[in-house]
Amino acid sequence: METLAAERAAFNPLIRPYLVITIGFALLFTIVFAPLAIIWFLGVGQWWAHHYFNKLECELTDKAIRFRKGILVQVEKTIPLENIQDVTFIEGPILRHFNLSTLKFETAGASNAHDGNMKLTGIIGAQAFRNNILAARDMLKQRGQSSSHQVMNPAADAQLIVLKSIEAKLDVIAAQMRERK
């Protein structure tokens, strides 16, 4: 049985200026928070992006993908590979300018749409990481199918033995009935 060693994703340091700029412009375009945008661009955003980047973690194991982020509020999410329906690769003009991309995970079994989805931005080699996730998911499914077939085979063998025994007894009964006529 083939197992996958845990693979840690590396994040592109260019995610820091990307976060500073995108969050800063979001603050700037909301009239209420426009004054905060000035403070954000003068240094708070750079401090925040630096610490946010240092806390980013993503690890792929043979059974799940684990993601961790956050400074004040840390979020850690683990998604079993068997629940992953699709991994979408997103790369727009702004992301491309920073040599970044986003991986979006769509999962089964979530109670609402936001619970089942996760986005990771800034993984170096995102296409290859996506392919590794899908390969690990497929490998896990194949292992599950082969083990379920192995579990079913002993039961099927036992049923076959019982059916052959019943068939042999029916043959004996049929032969006895032919003799009585």
Residue 165 lies in a domain: no
Nearest to 28 by CA among 44, 42, 40: 40
User: Does residue 1 have a pLDDT over 50?
Assistant: no
User: How many of the other CB atoms lie within 10 Å of CB of 104?
Assistant: 15
Residue 78 lies in a domain: yes
From 6-10, 93-97, 144-148, the region with the lowest mean pLDDT: 144-148
Confidence class of residue 24 from pLDDT cuts 50, 70 and 90?
A: very high
Instruction: Look at 155 and 73; give whichever has higher pLDDT.
Output: 73
Residue 159 lies in a domain: no
User: Does residue 181 have a pLDDT over 80?
Assistant: no
59 contacts 9 by C-beta, under 8 angstroms: yes
Residue 13 lies in a domain: yes
User: Does residue 45 have a pLDDT over 60?
Assistant: yes
124 contacts 83 by C-beta, under 8 angstroms: no
pTM over 0.85: no
Pairing of strands 84-90, 75-80: unpaired
**Number of domains comprising the chain:** 1
| Burial of residue 159, with CB atoms counted within 10 A of its CB: 0-12 exposed, 13-18 middle, 19 or more buried | exposed
Residue 169 lies in a domain: no
User: Does residue 83 have a pLDDT over 50?
Assistant: yes
Q: Give the structural domain span for 68.
A: 7-152
Residue 102 lies in a domain: yes
Nearest to 108 by CA among 117, 99, 100: 117
Residue 176 lies in a domain: no
64 contacts 82 by C-beta, under 8 angstroms: no
Q: What CATH number is associated with residue 111? A: 2.30.29.30
What tens digit of pLDDT does each residue of 91-108 get? Answer: 989 999 999 999 998 888
User: Does residue 23 have a pLDDT over 60?
Assistant: yes
User: Does residue 86 have a pLDDT over 80?
Assistant: yes
